[in-house]
């Protein structure tokens, strides 16, 4: 399950940031801007996608990058890890990949005459699960405990993953042979689904010029560290959410659950993630409170991949992204 936002008890008053909050929020927004500027040296012209990944990280979630090959999904993950100054591992998902190849396994150490746990590549701050839909469902599910609990269990022993722990999974939406589509229950565990898309002609020209002699990622420097990231994640939890925002999120969720085109609407987990990512979005703007515009800004990325339409509706060219956009226009911000 996605390491998502935990519910905020409506009966407990949300504690706003302290007196130094405006300065803290401004500092937070400044760090985010530096991170985006740094990554944009490599991923040119995709500022919104970079920001989306950072929002997912700071909200404690994980990202599904769904796009065609060659647009920079792997490069984005690597650039993000380098800019954050954290450890990075890449797992190439293939049909013969085993769960233990991801999480690790217990082996017998002849030197000490005892069994020891050998960590798998999942033990890193940023993990790229490349082409996740090419692995078997059994291997895909090996990620679930890691993503939800931040730990691996092997031989009845629990091994904690590094903090922060952030998974970026990629898949190609245009290939249908030799793949195992992620089931709805697993899609729901990704906080956001993003797409990079083709660069603009200007950005693509800049990319070609940049890489004439060397790849810019080779000289990319970190602009933050693990401690600062953990502090920012804690700060996100302190962003105030008014009851009107909770009510607005619930109205959006109910609208999907009652929609005639949808077999499954937004899950409670999805509503929780929408709230937490809205908090992260707000503080990247230097605010210590959430507005409806924060919810609207990330609603498509959070909601669309969680909505399941009826088969006949999908055959008629249904687009969950377009449906969410329609709901954002039709669902009132204030209850009536």
DSSP codes, 67-91: --TTSSHHHHHHHHHHHHT--EEEE
Alpha-carbon distance of 332 to 237, in angstroms, equals 26
What does the CA dihedral 307, 99, 233, 291 come to, rounded to 10 degrees? 0
Query: For residues 152 and 160, what is the distance between their CA atoms, to the nearest angstrom?
Result: 6
Number of Cβ within a 10 Å radius of residue 126: 23
If one compares 148 and 82, the residue with the highest pLDDT of the two is: 82
Residue 270 pLDDT grade (very low, low, confident, very high; cuts 50, 70, 90):
very high
Q: How confident is the model at residue 21 (pLDDT cuts 50, 70, 90)?
A: very low
Closest C-alpha to 281, from 304, 267, 301: 301
Q: How many CB atoms lie under 10 A from the CB of residue 334?
A: 9
CATH superfamily of the domain spanning 1-7+15-224: P-loop containing nucleotide triphosphate hydrolases (3.40.50.300)
Looking only at the bridges linking them, the beta strands covering 262-264 and 308-309 are antiparallel
- For the cut 90, the answer to whether the pLDDT of residue 50 exceeds it is yes
Q: How far apart are the C-alpha atoms of 123 and 89, rounded to whole Å?
A: 8
Measure Cα distances from 282 to 28, 52, 86, 273, 296 in Å: 11, 12, 24, 14, 11
Express each pLDDT in 182-216 by its tens digit: 888 888 889 999 999 998 999 889 888 888 888 88
What's the rounded Cα separation, in Å, for the pair 250 and 107? 48
pLDDT surpassing 70 at residue 2: no
Each residue's pLDDT tens digit, 303-313: 999 998 888 88
What's the pLDDT tens digit per position in 189-198? 899 999 999 9
What's the pTM? 0.87
3-state secondary structure (DSSP) of residue 150 = coil
Q: Is residue 1 pLDDT above 70, yes or no? A: no
Residue 165 in tokens: 């722990």
User: Taking 60 as the threshold, does the pLDDT of residue 9 lie above it?
Assistant: no
| Segment 166-176 mean pLDDT | 85
The full set of domain ranges for the chain reads: 1-7+15-224, 239-336
Residues ≥6 apart with Cβ < 8 Å to 310: 261, 262, 263
Average pLDDT on 268-293 reads 95
pLDDT at 10: 39
The reported pLDDT for the residue numbered 178 is 67
When the pLDDT of each residue in the chain is averaged and rounded to a whole number, the result is: 87
Class at the top of the CATH hierarchy for domain 239-336: mainly alpha
Specify the higher pLDDT residue, 155 or 121. Answer: 121
State mean pLDDT over 153-181: 85
pLDDT tens string 89-107: 999 999 999 999 999 988 8
Residue 70 has a pLDDT of 87
Tens digit of each residue's pLDDT (9 = 90 or more) over 317-335: 788 999 999 999 999 998 6
Tens of pLDDT, residues 282-291: 999 989 999 9
Task: Calculate mean pLDDT across residues 159-177.
Answer: 87
Coil, strand or helix at 127: strand
The pLDDT score that the predictor gives to residue 28 is 87
Tokens of 107: 């082996």
Q: Of 143-147, 300-304, 325-329, which range is least confident?
A: 143-147
């Amino acid at each position: 399950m996605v390491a998502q936002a935990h519910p905020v008890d409506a009966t407990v008053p949300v504690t706003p940031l302290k007196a130094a909050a405006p300065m803290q929020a401004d500092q937070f927004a400044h760090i985010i801007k530096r991170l985006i500027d740094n990554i944009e040296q490599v991923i040119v012209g995709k500022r919104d996608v970079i920001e989306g990944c950072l929002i997912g990280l700071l909200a404690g979630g994980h990202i599904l990058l769904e796009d065609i090959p060659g647009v920079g999904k792997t490069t984005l993950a690597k650039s993000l890890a380098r800019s954050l100054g954290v450890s990075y591992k890449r797992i190439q998902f293939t049909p013969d990949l085993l769960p233990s190849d991801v999480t690790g396994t217990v082996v017998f150490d002849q030197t000490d005459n005892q069994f020891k746990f050998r960590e798998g590549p999942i033990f890193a701050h940023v993990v790229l699960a490349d082409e996740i839909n090419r692995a078997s469902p059994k291997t895909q599910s090996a990620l679930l405990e890691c993503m939800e609990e931040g730990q691996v269990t092997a031989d009845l022993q629990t091994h904690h993953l590094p903090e922060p722990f952030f998974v970026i999974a990629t898949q190609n939406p245009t290939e249908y042979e030799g793949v195992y589509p992620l089931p709805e229950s697993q899609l729901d565990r990704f906080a956001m689904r993003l797409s990079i898309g083709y660069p603009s002609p200007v950005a693509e020209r800049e990319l070609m010029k940049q890489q004439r002699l060397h790849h810019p990622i080779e000289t990319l420097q970190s602009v933050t560290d693990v401690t600062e990231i953990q502090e920012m994640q804690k700060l996100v939890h302190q962003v105030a959410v008014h009851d009107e925002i909770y009510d607005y999120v619930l109205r959006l969720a109910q609208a999907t659950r009652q929609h005639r085109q949808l077999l499954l609407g937004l899950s409670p987990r999805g509503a929780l993630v929408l709230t937490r990512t809205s908090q992260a979005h707000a503080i990247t703007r230097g605010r210590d409170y959430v507005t409806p515009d924060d919810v609207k800004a990330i609603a498509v990325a959070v909601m669309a991949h969680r909505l399941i339409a009826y088969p006949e509706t999908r055959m008629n060219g249904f687009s969950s992204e377009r449906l969410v956009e329609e709901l954002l226009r039709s669902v009132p911000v204030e209850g009536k």
